[in-house]
Amino acid sequence: MYSSCSQVTFLCSTILNFEGLRMRTPEALSMDSALFELLKRCQQTCSYAAQFNTSVSSIELQLLHRLSPALELPIGSPDWLACAQKQLDQELATQGAVQEEREQQLDVATETLQLLVDSIKGILSNHNRQLADVKHLLRAMAKDEENALAEGEEVIYEGSVRQFLLEYKAWQDNVQIVLFTVVQATGQPRGGGASQEGVELLQEIPATLKELHTQSTSVYNGLVGFASPLVTERGGDCSSPTSTAQTSFAAAVRCSGVKTQTDSMSQNSRKLLPRNLGTPGLNPSPKRAVRDPKTGRAVQERNSYAVSVWKRVKAKLEGRDVDPSRRMSVTEQVDCVIKEATNVDNLSQLYEGWTAWV
């Protein structure tokens, strides 16, 4: 019953309002004029918008979304613009401080990286100077292996000099790429930015460094693995020149020399042996000369003392007698000789020996 009365009341009120608007009353006239004014303003706005092709950029939209949640003011009002400017100034100051700190960290990292690059360059220069003494030997050994292959002989590639030279070249190329990329990246201007190719090369550096670590171990171990023919090794693998077919000089080098005298007698035992000078026919026959399996020429027997003397003479000629890891200049060698010649201890020993001889 109550709901029906409410509906009837609402209907009557609606009819009265409609009749009031239909008639020319002051209220109806004011409402009509307000409606016409609104339509006129809409028309003016549309015509104004049609005259100018302005659009809001994505940056302006991002700025609007960034400032709208923090500011509870009408968008576009003077107060809103003042608050927005103040907030942007604070954020710019904060970002400027963060950027300055990062630039300082970047400068420190760049200086450290440059020091490391200079250190690596010095190590590589020392490495190249030392390797220059044996590089021609390695090339000769590789050429000997190639000649052996051309003659139809079987030369194992694994652990050969050819494999070492290829690995060394790949290692050297990787080192140069890393150094060139790092130097180029650190030498670019701060605001210029790096190219896409440079960024990709920088991203590949960690993987290249891991590969270099593995290659460095292989290269240095492989270089040490090639023994010198002057080193005497009493191994079972090289006890006889005819036991194994060492068909190439490189293979003979890796075998660390041919064992020339397996059961030689000591000096004391030689003195105890009787010597029959009256019967030359009973004298022992000379020892059979050991020949190189590759060339067929006689191989000169190695003496450990002679080898040590040869090494000392070679080091003296190369200026490495004082420090084997560094070659002295001519001036340094002259100074060293003068210092040794004017040493009081050496002069005293020389005088004592001369006095005893006289």
Cross-strand partners of 218: none
Q: Comparing C-alpha atoms, which of 177, 107, 175, 164 is closest to residue 138?
A: 164
Q: How far apart are CA 308 and CA 318, in angstroms?
A: 15
* Separation CA 183–CA 114 (nearest Å): 8
Residue 39 belongs to some domain of the structure:
no
298: β partners: 291
Whether 154 and 167 map to the same domain: the answer is yes
- Asked if 315 and 235 sit in the same domain, the reply is no
**pLDDT on residue 96:** 93
Q: Is the pLDDT of residue 261 over 50?
A: no
Least confident of 94-103, 225-234, 235-244, 341-350: 235-244
181 shares its domain with 166: yes
Residue 242 and residue 202 in one domain: no
Distance CA 201, CA 197 (A): 6
Window from 9-13, 161-165, 298-302, 329-333 with minimum mean pLDDT: 298-302
Same-domain status, 319 and 349: yes
Domain ranges, residue 338? 308-353
**What's the structural domain count of the chain?**
3
What's the whole-number average pLDDT of the chain? 74
Is 50 part of a structural domain of the chain? no
* Residue 152 within any structural domain of the chain: yes
231 and 220 in a common domain = no
163 part of a folded domain: yes
On whether both 241 and 323 belong to a single domain, the answer is: no
Domain boundary among 225, 246, 269: 225
The answer to whether the CB of 224 falls within 8 A of the CB of 199 is no
170 and 238, same domain (yes or no):
no
Residues 157 and 211 in one domain: yes
Per-residue pLDDT tens over the stretch 298-348: 555 667 777 788 888 888 888 888 888 888 888 888 888 888 888 888 888
d(CA 333, CA 62): 74
Q: Does residue 202 belong to any structural domain of this protein?
A: yes
Of 225, 244, 277, which marks where a domain is finished?
A: 225
Residue 143 lies in a domain: yes
CB 302 within 8 Å of CB 232:
yes
Residue 161: inside a domain: yes
Q: What is the pLDDT of residue 273?
A: 39
Confidence of residue 236 (pLDDT cuts 50, 70, 90): very low
Question: Is 214 part of any domain?
Answer: yes
117-143: pLDDT as tens digits: 888 888 888 888 888 878 888 888 888
Contact 183, 198 (CB under 8 A): no
Nearest residue to 114 (alpha-carbon basis) of 179, 175, 174, 172:
179
Shared-domain flag, residues 221 and 160: yes
Q: What per-residue confidence (pLDDT) applies to 227?
A: 55
Q: Same structural domain for residues 139 and 202?
A: yes
Please give the Cα distance from 109 to 90 (Å, whole number): 29
Residue 219 has pLDDT above 70, yes or no: yes
Residue 24: pLDDT band (50, 70, 90) is: confident
Alpha helices in the chain (DSSP H): 2-22, 26-51, 58-67, 78-150, 161-186, 196-225, 249-254, 267-272, 304-318, 330-341, 344-357
Q: Are 241 and 207 within one domain?
A: no
8 A C-beta contact, residue 299 and residue 290: yes
